[in-house]
A = this chain, B = another copy of it.
């Protein structure tokens, strides 16, 4: 086992990370109403007052959580792109495009839940994080669809593509959460559904696009 010859700043950083971890867990398990400095500090093993050594106030903690969430999100998206590019066939690449987000959500659903909750809560300090994340997901899916063979070169088509991306994104989230709730045991079936939905949309896009 590792001993603990930590410098003071290392120890402080560790405590800070413990606080963030604890906050994310409490947020997921009890919601924003349950997130108090008392609980977070206790869960991280320090006194409530010591919370303020690491964060100026509760708002500051939530800001840090937003940063942390955004960071994890960007990492996950980079990784998703990398994997999809490595797929052997085009069909597999297409399926990967949908499977990877589904798996990512299933592995760590707490960030999505946090985002969905904060997004519709006008009082949440995490609202900006939620809106940013939503936009990032939307753009990600739009880029995926574009990679599947459709490029928008005018205002109308760009908006259509964005709408389809937003719809597919929402469907992806819904199916992933349904999977977690046990309603859809097979993730592969969810991939089938998403492929089918997107096929319809892409067909429509091509049919209203003159060339190509």
List A residues at the B interface (Cβ < 8 Å).
Answer: 28-34, 113, 116-117, 119-124, 159-160, 162-164, 166-171, 173-175, 178, 183-184, 189-190, 192-205
Which residues of B have CB within 8 Å of A121? 31-33, 117
Provide the bound-state CA to CA distance between A171 and B173, in Å. 10
Asked if A29 and B122 sit within 8 Å, CB to CB, the answer is yes
Most B Cβ at <10 Å: residue of A163, A178, A189? A163
CA gap between A199 and B204 in the complex, in Å: 9
Provide the bound-state CA to CA distance between A198 and B193, in Å: 10
In the complex, residue of chain B having the shortest beta-carbon distance to the beta carbon of A131: B181
Q: A117-B117, A170-B171, A174-B170 are in contact. Are A193 and B163 (CB under 8 A)?
A: yes
Residue of B116, B117, B203 touching A200 (CB-CB under 8 A): B203
Establish whether residues A189 and B203, one from each chain, have CB atoms under 8 Å apart when the complex forms: no
- Considering the chains assembled together, what is the distance between the CA atoms of A166 and B162 in angstroms? 20
